[in-house]
Chains A and B, each alone.
Chain A
Amino acid sequence: MTVRFSHIIAIAFSIALLVGCDENSTSGDPVDLPKAEGVYVVNEGGFGQNNSTITHVAFDGTATQNAYQTKNGATLGDTGNDLAILGYKGYVAVNGSNKIEVVDLLTFESLGSIDLGAQGSPREILIVDSTEAFVTGSFVNKVFVISPYETTITEEIEVGANPEGMAIADDKLFVANSGFGSGTTVTVIDLSDYSVLGNVEVGLNAIDVVVASDGSIYSVCVGAWDGSRDGGVYKIDPATLTAVDSLIVTGNLGEPCLVAGDDLLATNGTKVIKIDLATLTVEDDEFVAGLAVNSLYGTVYSIAYDETTGEIYMGNPKDYTQDGEVVVFAPDGTETARYAAGLNPGTIVVAR
C-alpha cells in the first residue's frame, strides 16, 4: 500500500480541526491565565542570614508558612524586600542575594531568577506589564528596567543615591532617593526613552513616591532617624519638577505607606497615621496604635490595602528577632484577624 502526500496533508488538517473544536473556546478569544489569590507575605528574615520566606494566607484564613523552601528545597535567599504580582507569577526582590526570584504563586515553584549583577541589591519592583518593569538597585544607585516575561534586564538608568520606592504618573517614573537617610531628591525619568528629566528637591530621607486617585504625585520623606529633622509629605508638580506643597510631620514617617482611596496611611514611630492627600492635612493622628499591632515594641513593618473589602493588613515584626504576624483591620481601624507569619514580614500583597 502506498500513501500519497496529499493524504497525509488531509489527515493532518482533519486532526487540527478536531483539536481546535474545544467546546469551551471560540477561535480568536484570549485564554485566561490562572491568577494568584490570597495574601502573600515576604518575610525578610535577618540581614545576611539567608532566611527569607514566603507566607501565604488564603482568604479562608488558612496560612502556609515557608512555602517557597517547602516546594523547592533551597531557601528563597537573603532579605526579600518586595513582591510584585503579574498573573500567577510573583517577582520577589531579594536584596541580599542580588536577584529577582520568579515564583509560581499557585504552587510556589521557582520559575527562575533575574541576576542583577554585583551589588544589584533590588529594593522595590514596579511592574507595568509583561514586557516592562522597574527595579530600584539600592547599592548601585540605578533603576533596572526588566522584562518580566523574558526575565532579562533591558536597560539600566542612573538615579540618585540609594533609590527606594517608585511610582508612575504623567508618563514619567518617579524614584525616591533615600541616600540611606541623607537623600533629599526624587529622580524623574521619561518613560518614552528612559532619559532622566531631572531631580525634584523634597524632604530628608525620601523613601517612597505615591500617586493619589486624582493623579497627584507625592513623595514620602522619613526625616532624620535621630529625630533631629522631621519627615513629611511633599507634593510634586510633574510639569515644573518642583515640590509645590508639603506637610511636615513630627517624627519619622515610615517606609510602610500606601494610598487607600484618597488617604495616605503611613507608619510614624509607633502608630499608623492617616493623611488626607487632597488637603495635605493629618486626618487621624493615630488611625491604628502601633501597640495594637505589635505588643512588644509598637512598630509596624508593612502595610497593605485590599481594594475590594477596604481591609488593611499590617505586618508585625515583634522584636525583629522572632517570627512575626499579619494583622487585619477593618476600614474603621478595628482588628478583625491575626495570622502567623515569618521573620520580619516586610511586604504584604493582597491578590484577588
Chain B
Amino acid sequence: MASDNRFFFGFLARAIVAVALLSGAAFSQTLRVLDARTDAPIPDALVSGSSETRVADAKGAVPLRSFSEDDTLIVSHVAYRAARLALADLSDSAVVRLAPASILLEVSLVEGERTAPVERRERFSPRDIEVAGAQSLGAALAKSGALEIRSYGGGGQLQIARARGAGGENTLVLFNEARVNDLRTGAFDFGAYDANAFERVEYSSGGDLRTARFASGGAVRLETGNPDGETNASAFARFNDDEGRAASVAYRDRFGDYATAIDAGYAYSPNRYEYKFQDERYTRHNAHYERARFLADATRRDETYAANLFVGLRSFASGLPGYVSDNNQRGSNASRSDLTTLVVSDAAWAFAEGWSASATGSWNRQAATFEDPDGTMLRGERAAETDYDEFALDARMARAYEFATLALGAEARRADLDDRGQYLNSAIGEVSMSRRSLRGYATATAERRRPFQGASQATAYAGLSYEGIEEPNYPSAEGSEFSYALGAAVVADLPFDPTLRLFHADGVRTPTFNERYYAAALGAREALLSERYRSFEAALSLGARDDVAYFSIAWFARQTDDKIVWTPTVYGLQRPRNLRRAATTGLEFDATIRPFGEFLALDASYDYLDARNRSALSADDRSFDKQIVYTPKHRARAAATLTLGDFGFAVIATYASRSYYTADNNPFSSLDPYLLVDAHARRRFTLGAFTAEATLSCANVFDESYLVVQSYPMPLRTIAATFRISYKTVRGEQ
C-alpha cells in the first residue's frame, strides 16, 4: 500500500508540474487587453487579424497562436479607442492598454462589465450555437452546461429554459435588455427562434444585476445587432434529414457614428420524426413548424451620447400534435400561429464628468391564433385568438466615482392580455387581464485593484428593488414587494487567478396571468401568493475558459416559500397552488482542459441538484422531502473538440438521471435516465475576405428514446448539414 501511495503522489507531482509548464507556455502566447487608466482587463475586446477575429475572455486574454506571424492586429472594443499592433513586434507576454472612448462609455464599462462577476456567468457565442446544427435556439442551448432546456417535442415545439431546479417562469429572459417573459406563462419559448439569430447569449445565475431584477432561475440575455461596428455579410443554410430546411442572411455595416445590422431568416420542417413508445416505433405527426424573422438594429454613438433602436418581427406557425398517450395515431389536428413584434429603444447620455443617464423603452406585442378543427385542444372550440401587449420604460441615472458606481432607476410596466389568453388548457370563458407595475431600484458596485495583500482584485455589489403591482382583475392580490441582493468576488494574486465568489439574493416572483386566472377560476378561495425565495451561492474558480486549464466549483442553496405548483383537478385541468416551502441545494462542477493548445479541448460539467418539497400538508403527505417533479438529480455533460487547421470535429455527450412526474416519486411515474451523444464534423475554406464553412452534424447518434411518457417525445437520430459563407472586413481606428 505504501508503494502505491508513493507512486500516486509521484504521478500527481509530475502531473502538476506538467500542467504548470503547459500553462506557462500558453500564457506566453496570449495578448492581454487592459484598461489604460485602471489596468482592469477588458472582456469581449476584439482582436482581428487578416483572416480571423478573436474575442477576449473575462480576463482580457486572447490566445495569439491562430494568427499569422506577419499579421497586423486591430484591438478594439466598443467602449475604447482601437489600437493597431504588428504581431511580430509583440513580446511573449504582450499587454495592450486601450484608452476609454468617452466619459459615457467609461461609465458603461464600470457598471456593466465586472472583471470578476459576483455570480455565475456563462456565454455562448453564435459559433457555439451554430455548430450544434440545432433546429432552434433551445436545442442548441440544451447542449450547454448551465441551462436545462425542457422540450415539449422536437424542432419547433415549446422549449423553456430552466436553471438550478427553478421553472421557466423563474428565469428572466432579456432580449436586447427588454424583458420578454410572456406574462401569460411567465416563460419564453426558445423553440420559436433559430439558433443563429443572436450575436451573443449569456446566462447569469442571479438575474439582471444592472437593474436589480433578481430571479431564482437566473437570467438569459439574448443580443442582436452590431455592437463592435463590424462590416460583414453572411449567408447560412441548413438541411436536415427530416426534410427540415433553414436559411438566413445577415449584413452588418458602419457609417461614421452609425452602426447597423440586418438579419432575416426562414425555417421550415415537417418535423415528422420517429420515437419509441412501449417498445413500438411511432411517427410524430402534426408537429410541423414554419418560422420567419426580420431583425434590424441601428446604433448611433459619439463621445457623450449613444442610442440604439431595435425592431424585430417574427412569425411562427406550428402544429399542436397532442399527447403521446393516445399514441398520436389520432392526435390533435390543431395548430397555432404567432406574430410577434418587439421594439426596443435605448439611449444613454453622459451629461457631466462621472454622471450619466440612460433609458430603455420596449414594446412587446404577441398576436396568436389557434385553430382546432376537432375541438380537442381548445376543449370544444374551433378557433381562438389572443393578443398580448407589454410596454415598459426604464430610466436610470448613475454616478461613477473612482472605485464605485451608484445608480438609481425607475421602471414602469404595463401588460394587457386581450380575450382568450388561456388557450389550450380551458375554454372556461373569455377573459381580459392586465397588470401595471412601478418599480424603483438602486445599485452600488465597487471595484478595487489590489485591495489588500494577496488579492489582485475585488468586486462588491449591492442592489435593492421595490415594486408596486396593480391588477384590476384581482384587487385582493395587489401589493408591493421588496427584493435585494448582495455579492462579492475576490481574485487571489496567485497562479491561475483563484477567484472566490459569494452571492445572496432575497427575491420574489409575482404569479403569472395563467396562475392568477386558474387559481381563481378553478375554485381557490384565496388569492395565490407570490413566491419568495432566498438564495446563497459560493463558488471557487481557477483559470479562465481560454486558458490551458479551467476549473470551477459552485455550491448554491435556495429556499422558496409559497412556491407555485400546478396540480390536477377535474377534467385534467391543472390548478396552481402555493407549496409552503421547497428547498434546493446543488453543486456545479465545470472543467476545461486544453492540453495541446487549440488542437484539443476537453470540457466537462456535472450538476447535482437536490430539490425537495419541505412542507407536509399532513402526516399522510408522501410528497414531503421528495424530489420536485421533473427535476433530475444528476446532469452531466462532456465534450471533446478537435481542431486541425481548417478541420474540426466535436463530440458532445449529455446525461440526465431519472426524474419523476408524481410528487411522491413513484418509480412507475418517472422518466427514464438518458444519455445523448451528438457528433459534428466541420471544414472551413478561406479565400481572401470570404470564409466558407460546411458542418455535418448528427444529433442523438445512438437513437436514444427519451422524454416519451411525458407525452412530448424527442426525435431519434437526426442528421443535419449546414453551410455558411461570410464576407468580412474589420475597420480599425488609430
Q: Which residues in A have some Cβ–Cβ distance to B below 8 Å?
A: 45-51, 53, 66, 69, 74-75, 77-79, 96-98, 117-119, 139, 141, 161-162, 179-182, 225-227, 252, 255, 295-297, 318-323, 325, 343-344
Q: Are A74 and B380 in contact (CB under 8 A)?
A: no
Closest to A299 in B: B569
Bound Cα distance from A117 to B330, whole angstroms: 7
Shortest CB-to-CB span from B528 to chain A, Å, is 14
Q: Are B664 and A321 in contact (CB under 8 A)?
A: yes
Q: Are B523 and A119 in contact (CB under 8 A)?
A: no
Q: Are A321 and B663 in contact (CB under 8 A)?
A: yes
Q: Does B568 contact A (CB under 8 A)?
A: yes
Known A78-B325, A320-B569; judge A343-B662 contact (CB<8 A). Answer: yes
Q: Does B571 contact A (CB under 8 A)?
A: yes
**Which residue from A66, A69, A117, A180 sits with its C-beta under 8 Å from B427?**
A180
Known A49-B710, A296-B620, A320-B568; judge A139-B323 contact (CB<8 A). Answer: no
Closest to A73 in B: B278
Q: Are A48 and B666 in contact (CB under 8 A)?
A: no
Q: Are A139 and B567 in contact (CB under 8 A)?
A: no
A320 cross-chain contacts in B, Cβ below 8 A: 567-569
Q: Are A323 and B622 in contact (CB under 8 A)?
A: yes
A118 cross-chain contacts in B, Cβ below 8 A: 330, 374
24 contacts between A and B (CB under 8 A): A46-B669, A50-B324, A50-B325, A50-B709, A117-B330, A118-B330, A118-B374, A119-B330, A139-B376, A139-B379, A161-B380, A180-B426, A180-B571, A225-B522, A295-B618, A295-B620, A296-B621, A318-B621, A319-B567, A319-B663, A320-B569, A323-B662, A325-B620, A343-B666
A74 cross-chain contacts in B, Cβ below 8 A: 278
Q: Are B525 and A227 in contact (CB under 8 A)?
A: yes
A225 cross-chain contacts in B, Cβ below 8 A: 428, 521-523
* Chain B stretch 415-433: residues in CB contact (< 8 A) with chain A: 426-429
Q: Are B375 and A46 in contact (CB under 8 A)?
A: no
**Which residue from B278, B374, B522, B623 sits with its C-beta under 8 Å from A139?**
B374
Bound Cα distance from A322 to B565, whole angstroms: 14
Interface string of B557-575 (1 = CB under 8 A from A): 0000000010111111010
A227 cross-chain contacts in B, Cβ below 8 A: 523, 525
A49 cross-chain contacts in B, Cβ below 8 A: 325, 661, 669, 709-711
Known A118-B330, A162-B380; judge A296-B711 contact (CB<8 A). Answer: no
A295 cross-chain contacts in B, Cβ below 8 A: 617-621
Shortest CB-to-CB span from A295 to chain B, Å, is 4
Q: Does B326 contact A (CB under 8 A)?
A: yes
**Which residue from A96, A141, A322 sits with its C-beta under 8 Å from B666?**
A322
A46 cross-chain contacts in B, Cβ below 8 A: 568, 661-662, 669
Shortest CB-to-CB span from B729 to chain A, Å, is 53
Bound Cα distance from A69 to B622, whole angstroms: 23
A323 cross-chain contacts in B, Cβ below 8 A: 622, 662, 664, 666
Q: Are B523 and A96 in contact (CB under 8 A)?
A: no
Interface string of B290-330 (1 = CB under 8 A from A): 00000000000000000000000000000000011111001
Known A48-B325, A48-B572, A318-B621; judge A139-B523 contact (CB<8 A). Answer: no
Known A45-B669, A119-B330, A252-B523; judge A296-B323 contact (CB<8 A). Answer: no
Q: Are B622 and A77 in contact (CB under 8 A)?
A: no
Bound Cα distance from A227 to B521, whole angstroms: 8
Q: Are A296 and B523 in contact (CB under 8 A)?
A: no
Q: Does B629 contact A (CB under 8 A)?
A: yes
Q: Does B255 contact A (CB under 8 A)?
A: no
Interface string of B600-623 (1 = CB under 8 A from A): 000000000000000001111111
Known A48-B711, A297-B617; judge A78-B663 contact (CB<8 A). Answer: no
Bound Cα distance from A180 to B425, whole angstroms: 12
Known: A97-B327, A225-B523. 7 other contacts (CB 8 A): A48-B323, A51-B669, A139-B376, A226-B520, A295-B618, A322-B664, A344-B568
Q: Are B379 and A296 in contact (CB under 8 A)?
A: no
Most buried by A among B324, B429, B522, B618: B618
Closest to B619 in A: A295
Bound Cα distance from A210 to B321, whole angstroms: 37
Q: Are B379 and A321 in contact (CB under 8 A)?
A: no
Q: Which residues in B have some Cβ–Cβ distance to A below 8 Å?
A: 278, 323-327, 330, 374-376, 379-380, 426-429, 520-523, 525, 565, 567-572, 574, 577, 617-623, 629, 661-664, 666, 668-669, 709-711
Bound Cα distance from A352 to B663, whole angstroms: 34
Bound Cα distance from A75 to B617, whole angstroms: 30
Interface on chain A toward B: helix, strand, loop, or mixed SS? Answer: loop
B710 cross-chain contacts in A, Cβ below 8 A: 49
Bound Cα distance from A46 to B573, whole angstroms: 10
B664 cross-chain contacts in A, Cβ below 8 A: 321-323
Shortest CB-to-CB span from A164 to chain B, Å, is 10
Closest to A117 in B: B330
Bound Cα distance from A336 to B629, whole angstroms: 33
Q: Are A97 and B379 in contact (CB under 8 A)?
A: no
Known A139-B375, A252-B523, A295-B617; judge A321-B325 contact (CB<8 A). Answer: no
**Which residue from B374, B426, B521, B565 sits with its C-beta under 8 Å from A119?**
B374
Q: Are B622 and A318 in contact (CB under 8 A)?
A: yes
Bound Cα distance from A75 to B278, whole angstroms: 8
Bound Cα distance from A48 to B571, whole angstroms: 12
Shortest CB-to-CB span from A163 to chain B, Å, is 11
Q: Are A319 and B521 in contact (CB under 8 A)?
A: no
Q: Are A322 and B325 in contact (CB under 8 A)?
A: no
Closest to A316 in B: B620
Shortest CB-to-CB span from A344 to chain B, Å, is 7
Bound Cα distance from A227 to B623, whole angstroms: 29
Closest 6 A/B residue pairs (Cβ): A78-B325, A47-B572, A322-B664, A295-B618, A321-B663, A50-B325
Closest to A181 in B: B428
Closest to A252 in B: B523
Bound Cα distance from A220 to B426, whole angstroms: 22
Q: Are A321 and B375 in contact (CB under 8 A)?
A: no
Closest to B621 in A: A296
B525 cross-chain contacts in A, Cβ below 8 A: 227
Closest to B379 in A: A180
Shortest CB-to-CB span from B515 to chain A, Å, is 15
Q: Are A51 and B622 in contact (CB under 8 A)?
A: no
Bound Cα distance from A238 to B664, whole angstroms: 48
Shortest CB-to-CB span from B564 to chain A, Å, is 14
Shortest CB-to-CB span from B375 to chain A, Å, is 6
Q: Are A255 and B618 in contact (CB under 8 A)?
A: no
Closest to B669 in A: A51
Q: Are B568 and A321 in contact (CB under 8 A)?
A: yes
Shortest CB-to-CB span from B150 to chain A, Å, is 15
Bound Cα distance from A161 to B381, whole angstroms: 10
